Structure 1
Amino acid sequence: MRFTYAMAAGLFTFVLLLAGCGGGGDGEGGGPGGSKSGTVVVDGSSTVFRISRAAQEAFESVNPNTTVVVDNHGTGGGFSRYLQGEVDVVDASRDAKPDEEAKAKAQGIEWTRFTVGNDGITVVVNARNTVVQSLTVEQLKKLWEPGSTVKTWKDLNPAWPDRQIRLYSPDNDSGTYEFFVEAIVGKPKPVNADPAAKDQPKPAAKGGQRDGVQQSSDDNTLVNGVANDEDAIGYFGYAYYAANKERVKPVAVQNGADAKPVLPSAETIADKSYRPLSRPLYIFVKNSAARRPEVKQFLGYYLDNVKKLAVDGGYDPPTEDDLKANQEARTKLYGAAAPETAAAKP
């Protein structure tokens, strides 16, 4: 039988289909989530994305046979994909929620958490705004809380202009959004249930932020929104401010009536004086996926170089206590034979 061009094309397509099998789940023998593809899938926080992207680029330069896919669908989105078996590593700008832990436990999914940096959520205004230098936590709450009646700068401070404020924030899947809301607005309060409705599900807690905020999952979109609007205010991770210092201006946060306003910086984030908006940054690694050679190699490289990678991403590196905890978690994950992380060495 003569080997035709059509037969060759069909064979080539079949080979491509075989190569496409596997991916970033926790399977260990090919197929969806198998290890044969040499692919590591990371998704989650747009804040931690910058660190994981730095890890991806550096790792692939010395391990070209491994493909690392890094996406940023928000911390909540990353956990959602993770629980569906689509992701090996979640980038998280907050800790896992109780319901996420419960869903993972119900599916028999175990994970290990590592700290990969420290951040300060940065409140910014337009660079041409010469009025707003600092805001108290109470003013921030008054501005962002659900049902807020603040419409103008004058509503926040009688000495400020009577001009309408426009607000920008990450979307509801973002860990930055959730951390900011809890730190500034407060934890959601449960709704009183109807005592007569015994068999009805309990009402969800009310929380979040006010209506009328322009939200985006893309931090660069938020930066552009504030940079192009003289009466805008928004918030996002410190690295996105640091990369746009000429376009937006940070607002110092005053945490208490007797406290001094504090600007976010590498120093104030590291010493935790930038309160209440300083926070750790994490990756969550699925334990079953961590046994795959490519995931183990990528994780090892990430943790060995995490101090530099955090700085490359625009954030403060993990503290010595963070590094010690990382090493203990790594040893627990891989056993006593787990190599010591280079970053944790004195």
Structure 2
Amino acid sequence: MRHERSARLQAATLVAMILVGCGGDGESPSGASATVDIDGSSTVFRISEAAREAYSAVNPNVTVVVDNHGTGGGFGHYLAGEIDIVDASRPANADEEAKAKAQGIPWTRFNVGTDGITVVVNPENQFVKSLTVAQLKAIWEPNSKVMTWKDLDPSWPARTIVFYSPDQDSGTFDFFTEVIVGKAKQQRDDVQPSSDDNTLVNGVAGDVDGLGYFGHAYFEANSNKLRAIPIQNGAAAPVMPSEATILDESYTPLSRPLFIYVKNASIRRPAVFGFLKYYLEHIEELAKKGGYVPPTSKTQEANQKALSAGGDASAPTAKDAA
């Protein structure tokens, strides 16, 4: 993975050097400062990739590289000094916060949207009308006894369920296991994990007894070959994930905020600041293009206030807007 990132960064730097030589963004003659390097969540990837595509038309002299090795992978690359921005589908944990502080590489967090983790089955599965949070826990907890659909409901067929899940570097995995199982990163072992949400999509779509979960945008983009399952939390009626139910927080407990963490030192670089300014000013359309619910106006105001601080580690951040 490190070798792959190094190759990508070298290629991006070469392009930036050429562009700077042709009258680039006025940063370091080496061209390295004319790149913006992003890695992390495959969920937030869709927003950052939309930002990269749009910004390339506005400022082609800045090369933006977006990878998706999971939220945990993104924080790992950040702490190794390899990237400017982490795409994160969960907040940084205490260990990641402590390491960033200890290494003298503080960040500013910006809220870039809201997602609803979507539980899906194959469209041929018409007997699962909804699932309760308690059933989800019974399905996904470590050492689960649920092996067939009949184990969940005696009226359902005794066919073996095939489980598809994000891998352990995924922020989606962290969030889902924490709110459903009760402890982050704790899940049954007999699953088919992947860091690529499209692999999970294709797995469930190709298996009549498939069951999986991932960000809502990946369901929306593949709703012709998947079926989303309404989730019942407590005594409330089952709720289907949608822009409306994610926004009004009735789709609970699987609604969650999405973030980007930007290195403060990088914010002070013109290439990164220009890209980030564009990203936040156009977040309404970028979040929607990515398939997610945009931040509220109050959150967007907090984002702008944090950006105006310009990477000052002592200034307020957008954390309270999440």
Range class of TM-score, shorter chain: 0.7 to 0.9
Q: In 2, are the aligned partners of 1:226 and 1:234 still within 8 Å (CA)?
A: yes
Mapping of 1:304-343 within 5 angstroms? 304-333=281-310
Query: d(CA) in 2 for partners of 1:239 and 1:155?
Result: 30
Aligned equivalent of 2:192: 214
Query: d(CA) in 1 for partners of 2:189 and 2:81?
Result: 34
Q: 1:18 to 1:144 in 2, by over 3 A?
A: closer
CA drift of 1:272 comes to 0.5
Aligned equivalent of 1:73: 69
Mapped pair 1:177 → 2:177: no
Q: Which of the residues 149, 161, 164 maps onto 1:165? A: 161
Query: d(CA) in 2 for partners of 1:50 and 1:129?
Result: 28
Aligned equivalent of 1:230: 208
CA drift of 1:329 comes to 1.4
CA drift of 1:84 comes to 0.7
Q: Which of the residues 75, 83, 88 maps onto 2:84? A: 88
Query: d(CA) in 2 for partners of 1:135 and 1:18?
Result: 50
Query: d(CA) in 1 for partners of 2:170 and 2:131?
Result: 23
Q: Which of the residues 252, 271, 276 maps onto 1:275? A: 252
Q: Deviations over 1:255-306 (max 9, x none)?
A: 01x1100000010001010000000100000000111110010000000100
Query: d(CA) in 2 for partners of 1:165 and 1:67?
Result: 44
RMSD: 2.0
In our comparison, the structure showing a higher alpha carbon Rg is 1
Q: 1:18 to 1:141 in 2, by over 3 A?
A: closer
Aligned equivalent of 1:52: 48
Query: d(CA) in 2 for partners of 1:94 and 1:314?
Result: 17
Query: d(CA) in 2 for partners of 1:114 and 1:208?
Result: 28
Q: Deviations over 1:70-124 (max 9, x none)?
A: 0000000000000111000000000000000010011011100001111000000
Q: Which of the residues 223, 236, 240 maps onto 1:245? A: 223
Q: 1:137 to 1:69 in 2, by over 3 A?
A: same
CA drift of 1:160 comes to 0.8
Q: 1:50 to 1:293 in 2, by over 3 A?
A: same
CA drift of 1:159 comes to 1.1
Query: d(CA) in 2 for partners of 1:294 and 1:81?
Result: 20
List 4+ stretches of structure 1 deviating above 4 A: 16-20, 28-31
Kindly provide the amino acid, as one letter, of the partner of residue 259 in structure 1.
A
Q: Provide TM-score, normalisation by structure 1.
A: 0.81
Q: What is the number of residues matched between the two proteins?
A: 293
Q: Deviations over 1:226-268 (max 9, x none)?
A: 0010111000000000001110000000001x11000000100
Mapping of 1:97-116 within 5 angstroms? 97-116=93-112
Q: In 1, are the aligned partners of 2:16 and 2:61 still within 8 Å (CA)?
A: no
Q: Which of the residues 58, 63, 83 maps onto 1:62? A: 58
Instruction: State the SS of the aligned residue for 1:294.
Output: helix
Instruction: State the SS of the aligned residue for 1:280.
Output: strand
CA drift of 1:320 comes to 1.8
Query: d(CA) in 1 for partners of 2:16 and 2:272?
Result: 21
CA drift of 1:333 comes to 3.0
Q: Deviations over 1:22-50 (max 9, x none)?
A: 9xxxxx9677x942xx1100100000000
Q: Which of the residues 256, 262, 280 maps onto 2:239? A: 262
Q: In 1, are the aligned partners of 2:75 and 2:86 still within 8 Å (CA)?
A: yes
Query: d(CA) in 1 for partners of 2:308 and 2:247?
Result: 26
Q: In 2, are the aligned partners of 1:48 and 1:92 still within 8 Å (CA)?
A: yes
Q: In 2, are the aligned partners of 1:112 and 1:333 still within 8 Å (CA)?
A: no
Q: Provide TM-score, normalisation by structure 2.
A: 0.87
Q: Deviations over 1:139-159 (max 9, x none)?
A: 000000001011000101111
CA drift of 1:330 comes to 1.5
Aligned equivalent of 1:299: 276
Kindly provide the amino acid, as one letter, of the partner of residue 174 in structure 1.
S
Instruction: State the SS of the aligned residue for 2:52.
Output: helix
Query: d(CA) in 2 for partners of 1:143 and 1:135?
Result: 10
Kindly provide the amino acid, as one letter, of the partner of residue 285 in structure 1.
V
Mapped pair 1:150 → 2:146: yes
Query: d(CA) in 1 for partners of 2:244 and 2:91?
Result: 23
